[in-house]
Amino acid sequence: MERQQDVNLWTANALYVAANGVLLIAIFGSDLLGFRWAVPVVGIAIAVAWLMTSTRAHQYEKHWAVRARTLESSMEIPPDYRVWDEERLKGIPAKFAEYGLIYFFAALWISFAGFLSGWCLSVLLTTSIVVSTLGLLRRLIYIFKN
């Protein structure tokens, strides 16, 4: 179950990165219709959607891991046969890279908005990612704690 969740999450991440790649191509392509200013707006919308879906996926992951550990303990399954160890794997958790990518692309779109349209759109996009993060703050703390 955990491995499938991991595959699903990284597939979704790959799609979000690909969508951002398409937008990068659009922003550096020719602006025949005069809509280049809208590309950062779409980019930040993708970043917000990515933030929300990743947070929800990690909530499920943590929720089921906690349940599995509780079940394993209550059934007195020997530690050698438990699916979820009490100790985490060594190294940096992948979710740090994932959220780093989300905020990297958000900062990139905010920068492009400032360059293409001025500070007003840039402030609006910054506000949207900050408000989204604050709205998810309790969930993010739950995901990243331990």
The average pLDDT across 76-86 equals 74
Q: Is residue 17 a contact partner of residue 102, using CB atoms and an 8 Å limit?
A: no
Summary mean pLDDT of the chain:
87
Query: In whole angstroms, what is the distance from residue 138 CA to residue 129 CA?
Result: 16
Q: Is the pLDDT of residue 1 over 60?
A: no
> Which of left, alpha, beta for 85 (phi over 0: left; psi -120 to 50: alpha)?
beta
Q: Is residue 53 a contact partner of residue 12, using CB atoms and an 8 Å limit?
A: yes
Q: Is the pLDDT of residue 11 over 70?
A: yes
Helix, strand or coil, per DSSP, at residue 93: coil
Q: What is the pTM of this model?
A: 0.84
Higher-pLDDT residue of 137 and 88 is 137
